[in-house]
Amino acid sequence: MSFSKLFFLLLLLSPFAFSAEISQAIKEKKLYPMGEKIFTKKCPNLEVNNYKSYEQLLKALQNHSACGTLNTKYSQALALYLWDIKRVEKIDALQEIKISKEDKCQVCGMYLHYYPNWVCEIDYPKGEVYKFDGIKDMMQFYFNHKKGITVILVKDYYTLKTIDAREAFYVIRSDVLGPMGNEFIPFRDKKSATTFSLDHRGKSPLSFKALTEKMVRSID
């Protein structure tokens, strides 16, 4: 390959290289929120779908033609936010698990509002909903009532955001105990589950499908 072509390739690849350096964690925790703020404040009318590629959007921002004067950091944040979040059809955010003062765990009867970080629920059609004070109790219920479930919700340990239980990863036998003792700790991705299992001396992360009745019974 000639030198110029190599140079051009590098130039083309550099934005990717650059954005590949930024971890998903940094994007989610800092850049997307910042981008959203910039978007709302400085150019709420900017239509991201007018741009054919991320680089094009980024360039437009950097040369101040799309959203006023923005420095490098802000341009990137805004570009990432627009491209990764705004452009994609907003997936219905999962309904947050709501707990009232009277809600009790379906299996053990404990009042749930004392343990908001640990609650989880199983939804059935026609508004039939059961809530639990931990995944251990929920799984006990689950294995006997598998039919007709619409969605199972749990809270990601690190961010406490509601996630789909069936897409989550679980760590058992860690040093973190739930309200009912040893628990299945849920994570929204394998990476954070692995980090947790190493930090808190738990077993390797398991997918939802890998959870068995025997595990639930023998966890204590």
Partner 1 sequence: MIKDINFYLAGYALKSLLRDKSKNIFIFIVFSLLVALLASTFFLSASMRAEYHQLIKNYPDIVLTNQRAMQDIPYNTDVVNRVLNLSGVSSTVGRVYGKYAFSQAETVFTLLGIDAFENYANPLLNKLNKKYSLDDNAMLVSSSVATILKQNYYKEYFNFIKEDGSRQKVQIADTFYTPKSSADANLIVMPNELVRKIFGFKKSEFTDIAIMVQNREEIGFIAGKLQEEFPNAKITLKEDLLREYENIYNFRSGFFLTVFVIAFFTFFIIIYDKLSGPNSAQKREIGILKAIGWRVEDILKAKLYEGILISLSAYIFGIILALIYVYIFKAPYLKAIFLNNYTLLSDYRLVFHIDIQTVVLLFFVSVPLYIAATIIPSWRVATLDADEVMR
User: Counting runs of H as helices and runs of E as strands, what totals does the chain give?
Assistant: 8, 7
Q: Tokens standing for 215?
A: 């595990």
Taking CB under 8 A as the binding criterion, the range among 7-15, 129-137, 157-165, 205-213 that sits at the site for partner 1 is 157-165
Taking CB under 8 A as the binding criterion, the range among 27-35, 87-95, 124-132, 206-214 that sits at the site for partner 1 is 27-35
- Cβ-count burial of 79 within 10 angstroms (0-12 exposed, 13-18 middle, 19+ buried)? buried
- Is the Cβ of residue 12 or residue 25 nearer to partner 1 in the bound state? 25
- Using CB under 8 A, which of 160, 181, 207, 212 touches partner 1? 160
**Residue partners of 156: CB distance under 8 A and separation at least 6:** 162, 163, 168, 186, 187, 188, 192
Binding mask 74-113 for partner 1 (x = CB under 8 A): x--x------------------------------------
> Are 88 and 157 in contact, with CB atoms under 8 Å apart?
no
Under the criterion CB under 8 A, does residue 200 sit at the interface with partner 1?
A: yes
The dihedral formed by the CA atoms of 195, 197, 198 and 200, expressed in degrees to the nearest 10: 110
> Rule CB under 8 A: which residues touch partner 1?
23, 25-26, 29-30, 33-34, 37-38, 41, 74, 77, 117, 157-160, 176, 192, 195-196, 199-200
